[in-house]
Structure 1
Amino acid sequence: MFAVTATSFDAENPLAGLTLGEVSEPEVPDGWALVTLRAAALNHHDIWSLKGVGLRPELLPMILGCDGAGIDADGNEVIIHAVIADPDAGDGDETLDPRRSLLSERFPGTLAERIAVPRRNLIPKPASLTFEQAACLPTSWLTAYRMLFTRAALRPGDTVLVQGAGGGVSTAAIALARAAGLRVWATSRSEEKRARATELGAHATFAPDERLPEKVDAVVETVGRATWASSVRAVRPGGVVVVSGATTGDDPSADLTQVFFLQRSVIGSTMGTRGELQR
């Protein structure tokens, strides 16, 4: 079958390790299911994999891709939950399983004609969604959902600042937050991306270091070092910064005085559970 694989790592030129071609058909262990992909989505995770982040050299070649939707062997239209983990770990939260992985890290990913996944990772595709729409949900959109509503526990009327409006998680967060009745602010260095954020539902947009009209209840932080200081200072006393990425670097100044003196919370968030995706 045809697939897109990582065959080598290159931190400076990640696409140098990208290979397109024929690979062996997937094996289907007991308790797993074979899915014929109808659509798959690209994520920045694929670039990290090609750079050698989160993927061990001895597992190469590895089929890339975390997101996908397709048809199982029984003819059911399904969405694939990308987190491979023990469903009983973490009191039922499989994202807390220390041995968890995403598709394309230990097990072949979705950028192929067919894939084998644990049967419990299949979720019925709503008839209202196309395969292309459904394939976008399991990574960026699920991550954004968990950040907003599980980890930050935001409610209608709360104000959220989304940093780096051009990213996949940020884009999803803007749309989901607006649909849920939140007041949504977004930042980007790019005027074009700020305009796009407005189209997606942001009530107001700002340059990254621009002074905000008031403090916010929560910040969706995926950028890292470049926006960290402004994220911490943007939150009201008792508010929360929810972090799911660090694209520009993971070692900013902690700014601890701003955290403890104003009782701000910093919360990590990774992917989401099967139950959250099913919602």
Structure 2
Amino acid sequence: MLAAFAARTDAAHPLSALEIADQPAPADREHWTRVTVRAASLNHHDLWSLRGVGLPDSALPMILGTDAAGVTDDGREVVVHGVIGADGHGVGPEERRSLLSERYPGTLAEQVSIPTANLIDKPASLSFEDAACLPTAWLTAYSLLFRAANLKPGDAVLVQGAGGGVASAAIALGVAAGLDVYATSRSADKRARAGAMGATAVEPGARLPRRVDGVVETVGKATWRHSAASLRPGGTIAVAGATTGDPGAELTRVFFNELRVQGVTMGSREDLRALLAFLDRHELRPTIAQVLPLARADEGLALLESGEHFGKIVLVP
């Protein structure tokens, strides 16, 4: 079967480590189910894997990808939850938590094998391309807003770095949930797109009209000080990444204003079911930057690395 995989790792030039070629199809395995992939989406996790972060040489070659939607052999339309080993289903109770493409082959392939308990029914209202955007970026955004920061309608949230998958998802979910959403970007075009989605778009570091109840933080060093300064006393910085590096803690502001910092890695299967129901109920759909065939995964990953997109990049086998 055709797959996009890390044949090696290269910290400086991650795309040089990518190959797109035939790989063995998944074998039958008890408590796991084979899924024919109809759509998969890209995440920064794929680039980190190509750089060798969390992917040792002993695991190579490794098929990339944590997100997919597809069809099981018996015709069930499903969305893949890519967190493996969190509760032992399909892998045993002692297995440490990992994401697809870290210890087990990922979703950037024509087929993938998934613990059966990790398959969630796809709502008929969602296309496979839409559904494939959800299990990492949108699930993370949902967890950041509603579990980590515990935001409610009428609360205010600052989303740093509008344009990426998590940030654009957080804007859409926040607006649909009745939050007062502020979003930053260095790009005037991305600020305009965030504004069209219902956010108040501002330049990075700009003073906000009000202190916010929560911050969605995936940027790290470049935005962390602004995040801490924009929070009301007792507010929460919900963190799911640091693409510009480790920010340092701003500890004086954290303890003086009694701020909370809460980390998030995706979310549970129950969170994913709730997210799917939320999109179905609100008739909300992911922002998709581009749909490419799997054979052009290199182009999609190059676009992801450039940061010039707005929304999710989807691959279709």
TM-score range (shorter-chain normalised) is over 0.9
Letter in 2 for 1:50: L
Q: After superposition, where does 1:1-279 map in structure 2 within 5 Å?
A: 1-87=1-87, 99-202=96-199, 204-250=200-246, 252-279=247-274
**Helix, strand or coil at the partner of 1:220:** strand
**Helix, strand or coil at the partner of 2:253:** helix
* Unaligned ranges ≥5, structure 2: 275-317
Question: Aligned-pair distance for 1:88?
Answer: 6.5
From the superposition, tell whether residues 30 and 88 of structure 1 become closer, same or farther in structure 2 (CA, over 3 Å): closer
TM-score, with length taken from structure 2:
0.83
TM-score, with length taken from structure 1:
0.94
Question: Aligned-pair distance for 1:98?
Answer: 8.3
Counterpart Cα distance in 1 of 2:208 and 2:218? 19
- CA-to-partner distance for each residue in 1:179-202, whole Å, 9 max, x for gaps? 001010000111011111112221
Percent identical among aligned pairs is: 59
Moved more, 206-215 or 151-160: 206-215
**Helix, strand or coil at the partner of 1:153:** coil
Counterpart Cα distance in 1 of 2:52 and 2:163? 24
**Helix, strand or coil at the partner of 2:234:** strand
**Helix, strand or coil at the partner of 1:157:** coil
Question: Aligned-pair distance for 1:73?
Answer: 1.4
Counterpart Cα distance in 1 of 2:49 and 2:248? 27
Counterpart Cα distance in 2 of 1:86 and 1:273? 9
Higher relative contact order (CA 8 A, sep 6+): 2
**RMSD value, Cα:** 1.3
From the superposition, tell whether residues 48 and 236 of structure 1 become closer, same or farther in structure 2 (CA, over 3 Å): same
Letter in 1 for 2:230: A
How many residue pairs were aligned? 270
Question: Aligned-pair distance for 1:216?
Answer: 0.5
Counterpart Cα distance in 2 of 1:171 and 1:98? 33
